Structure formats: C-alpha cells, structure tokens
Amino acid sequence: MTFWRVQEDHFLDSTNVGDVVDFRDLAAVSVSKEAALFFSESNSKPMKYILEFEVPEGVNGAFIAPIKKGTKYVGGEKVPLTHEMEALLRKHKVEIRAFGDKTMKGLLGEDLIHIKLRVVG
C-alpha cells in the first residue's frame, strides 16, 4: 500500500538512494496524495518534501481516519478531519528508493522534492 506525507525539513537530506535508515518519527501519513498536499496548506510554514511510502502488508500502524471527529478551518473553509484519510506508522526502517527524481507543487505553490521510501523493517 502507498502512503503520503509532506514534510518541512528532514534528516533524509543526508542520505543516498539505496540507504536503509531508521525513520525515527511516528509518521502521520495519508492514503491520499491530495490529502497529504492538503497538510501543506494547513501548515504555517512552506513544506519542502513529499514523502511516498511503499508499505508492505504486515507493517504495524493504525488507520485512524474512521475515528477522527470534528472539523478545522483551512483558508477560511470548514473541512472535516476525515478528509485527511490519516494513518499512523510506528518507528521503522526505510530504504530510500528515489530522492529528488521529480518535484510536485504544494498547495501554496511551493516545489516539493519527491522522496520514495520502502518500509523494510
């Protein structure tokens, strides 16, 4: 399954394709690239990266979208929290599969550097 996350800065700056590293954070991710890009608009700082996680079956995590309640305001618009389609991935090891192979536009117009990761442990 593929998950997405936007990130302001990240320790992955100092890695190379093929490296296997500890992803230290509990990662809030989305099953939707568009929903992940929505996070870039709802953050007060411009994002730098869009992370694409390839997650094999059996990796520990929780899909929390069905239990999120309420709304938040983004750009003056009331948006349901279920729109985020959020999941949480526990700390894990990832292999860097691609780094900067393409860029994508964030919702604020910023260029996001694409990093493709595969959870390996």
Q: Record the tokens describing residue 53, joined without a space.
A: 């996680």
Confirm or reject CATH 3.90.176.10 for domain 2-119, answering yes or no.
Answer: yes
Contacts 24+ apart (CB under 8 A), 110-113: 110/40, 110/46, 110/47, 110/48, 112/6, 112/40, 112/47, 112/48, 112/49, 112/50, 113/48, 113/49, 113/50
CB 6 within 8 A of CB 36: yes
Query: Per residue in 76-105, pLDDT tens?
Result: 666 555 556 777 787 789 999 999 888 888
pLDDT, one tens digit for every residue, the chain (121 residues): 899 988 887 777 788 999 999 887 667 888 888 878 876 666 667 788 899 999 998 887 777 765 555 665 555 666 555 556 777 787 789 999 999 888 888 877 888 999 999 999 8
pTM beyond cutoff 0.85: no
